[in-house]
Amino acid sequence: MTLAIFDLDNTLLQGDSDHAWGEYLVEVGAVDGAQFTRDNNRYYQAYLDGTLDIFEFLERHQLKPLARHDRVTLERWRAEFLHTKILPLIVPAARALVEKHRSQGHTLMIITATNRFITAPIAAEFGISHLIATEPEESNGRFTGKVDGVPSYREGKVTRLRSWLSEHHQDLDGSWFYSDSHNDLPLLELVDHPVAVNPDTVLASQAHARGWPMLKLR
pLDDT band, very low/low/confident/very high, at 218 (cuts 50, 70, 90): confident
> Does the annotation mark 9 as catalytic?
yes
Quote the pLDDT of residue 132.
98
Note the pLDDT of residue 52. Answer: 94
Domains of the chain: 3-215 (3.40.50.1000)
Please give the share of the chain, as a percent, with pLDDT higher than 70: 100
Average pLDDT, integer, range 131-148 = 96
pTM: 0.95
Which one of the listed residues 7, 16, 180, 200 is annotated catalytic?
Answer: 7
Give the pLDDT confidence score for residue 170 in this predicted structure. 94
State the Cα–Cα distance between residues 113 and 121, nearest whole angstrom: 15
- Summarize pLDDT for 113-132 with one digit per residue, the tens: 999 999 999 999 999 999 99
